[in-house]
Chain A
Amino acid sequence: MPTENQYTDSMSVHKITRKILAGALTAIGFAACTVEEPDLYGTPLLYGPLPVDSIVSDTTSQPFRGACIADDNQDIANENEMTNEHP
């Protein structure tokens, strides 16, 4: 596991391999779970994709957008957009 900026290394060998394997799984009709996809969460207490407009699907450049944030909490969301700069 890279120690810094792991998520900016968007095309690591591992990732490419995962994409190929996931594609093959999907092609024969099975759900493919890779760590790039939010549908990995087959774990004990929560699983499944986050709400559709959450940030997990794009991990490289999008500002943090909590899908379920209430309207009157928009200031927190705005603050995130301004301050949450990721390396």
Chain B
Amino acid sequence: MSIRKRIGQELAHQLYRNIEREHPLRQLFWECTLRCNVHCRHCGSDCKRVAGVEDMPGEDFLRVLDSIAKRCNPHEVFVILTGGEPLVRDDLEDICSEIYRRGFPWGLVTNGLYLTPERFASLRKAGMHTVALSLDGLEANHNWLRGHKDSFRMTSQAIDLLVNSPLRFDCVTCVNRRNYSELPAIRDFLIDKGVAEWRIYTIFPMGRAKNDPDMRLTGEEFRGVFEFIKQTRKQGLIKASYGCEGYLGEYEAEVRDHFFHCQAGITVGSVMADGAIAACASIRSDYNQGNIYEDDFMDVWEHRYQPHRTFAWRRTGDCADCRHWRYCRGNGMHLRDNEGRTILCHIKRLQETAPL
């Protein structure tokens, strides 16, 4: 690692420690439904078309925002609707208009199937700022992963809508064994469509993906993803980035704009479908910090979240004597099991192979 990057990494470390001390809420995920219109093989939520948990009434979530607005500038707290598939809710625009009226910018994570021109217009009227759209391959692989024969066609139409709007959006791709080899073709497809930003994830062993061998990349493929992102960023035709998860050692600041920092519980909070107060929506429920039906969200935000804001407890197992600890600090919180053990170490996976 170059001296410049070492210095940068240390500066970023100090910066992140500073942010952790203040832990200002900046992103609030709302798992507004567990219902979904597709059945993805890699779903971390294990959503169903008919969910076991009923959709949270909009007014319950709005009460959370009212609590936040008393203590934070709502303009600084970005609300992200996730699920399930948020667009299965018929009352979404009504709720989002209220979110917006309260001064909170908001965005949407969607598979795009229900993002018709009419729905898009109504969402924009409700103040929608950003969209993250899932695209997990070209037609065959995307439809295979999503379990829906029309998914690619409809997602493609949604991309056209977004490209022709002033909204900021990105496409999100989860790389698995099937779509790994078509990453260059997906890139070309997105560039042809006019997509400016592309976020790439490797799938972590959770939810349905946990026991699916098609989801787990080989060591060579795992490293290949980062080499591909590096190459794509160098090419400069689309801004490709690896998702937020995972300390990447030699690839730090190469495949993302920033050095790694898991912000769950530090700047990121979540309200889950059952009212649970969580950090990042991908983190196990063992780490939930309260429930909006019993606790005030901001009281929880200010006084709990110790597992997310302290790091010494994570320094066990492979982390105990790892030379990357200072900057990794136990990897992402969503990669911890119910007993606090890490379920995926990006550095270890990278060490399975030498650089290509």
Contacts and interface: CB of A to CB of B under 8 A. Distances in A.
Nearest to A4: B71
Interface residues of B, number: 71
B103 A86 contact: yes
Most-contacted residue by chain B among A1, A22, A64, A68 (CB, 10 A): A68
B125 A69 contact: yes
Contact of A25 (B8, B73, B75, B264): B8
Contact of B168 (A44, A48, A72): A48
B92 to A, nearest CB: 15
Interface of B is mostly: mixed
Contact of B11 (A25, A49, A59, A76): A25
Tell me if A's interface is mostly helix, strand, loop or mixed. loop
Nearest to B131: A46
A24 B29 contact: no
Query: Which interface class (under 10, 10 to 19, 20 to 34, 35 or more) fits A?
Result: 35 or more
Contacts of A69: 100, 124-125, 127
Interface in B153-182: 165-168, 170, 172
A22 B15 contact: yes
B296 to A, nearest CB: 12
B27 A48 contact: no
B343 interface: no
Interface in B88-125: 97, 100-103, 105, 107, 109, 121, 124-125
B48 interface: no
Given A29-B4, A35-B24, A3 B268 contact: no
B8 A59 contact: no
Given A28-B4, A44-B244, A55-B75, A34 B80 contact: no
Contact of B125 (A21, A28, A62, A72): A72
17 contacts: A7-B76, A21-B14, A25-B11, A25-B15, A29-B8, A30-B11, A41-B78, A43-B267, A45-B82, A45-B132, A54-B129, A67-B166, A70-B125, A73-B125, A73-B126, A79-B101, A86-B75
Interface of A: 1, 3-4, 6-7, 12, 14, 17-18, 21-22, 24-25, 28-35, 39-51, 54-56, 59-60, 62, 64, 66-70, 72-73, 76, 79-80, 84, 86-87
